[in-house]
Amino acid sequence: MHTEPIRRIAESSARFYTGDAMTSASAIDPIVFVLRHTHWDREWYQPESVFRKRLVDLIDELLGGTPNEPFLLDGQAILLRDYLAVRPERAAELAKALQNGRLEAGPWYVLPDELIPSGEALVRNLLAGRRALASAGRRIAG
Ligand SMILES: [Zn+2]
């Protein structure tokens, strides 16, 4: 299903890895890096409450998991607020995981639709994402 994009990433990584623009990606074995992650839909084929429970279960598991395995929750920070609305007592643990890189989220507040919003809406989405990340304990540069 996602073979083509992964192959293209692998080829571009392979070219970058060799440092030689003339090197054919097919002449060497590509190196593929996969970061443990999820893509999060707040509501889709199940009601929001079902997805919220899955989110809480996932983050509960990650907070209790192996410390040296980073996990990218998604490109949207709103899921941190969704989690903390259910588990406010785990705010300090979540903040620590965000600070030490064990968990990553954002930078968007919600995943942007590239076709509908204006440029200003995209910027405001990023700013709201920064606020949500900061409020969850993630240190924000600049
Ligand atoms: Zn989706």
Cα of 15 to ligand 1 centre, how many Å? 30
Cα of 106 to ligand 1 centre, how many Å? 15
Spatial contact of 125 and 95, defined as CB atoms under 8 Å apart = no
pLDDT at 3: 44
> What is the pLDDT tens value at each position of the chain, 142 positions in all?
344 545 555 455 444 445 555 555 556 788 888 889 998 888 889 999 999 999 999 999 999 877 678 899 999 999 999 999 999 999 999 999 999 989 999 999 998 887 878 889 999 999 999 999 999 998 877 6
Cα of 64 to ligand 1 centre, how many Å? 26
Protein residues near ligand 1, an ion, with CB under 5 A = 41
Q: Which domains does the chain have, with CATH numbers?
A: 1-34 (no CATH), 42-135 (1.10.1240.90)
Cα of 96 to ligand 1 centre, how many Å? 27
Residue 94 structure tokens = 């979540």
What is the secondary structure of 81-94 as a DSSP string? HHHHHH-GGGHHHH
Cα of 108 to ligand 1 centre, how many Å? 14
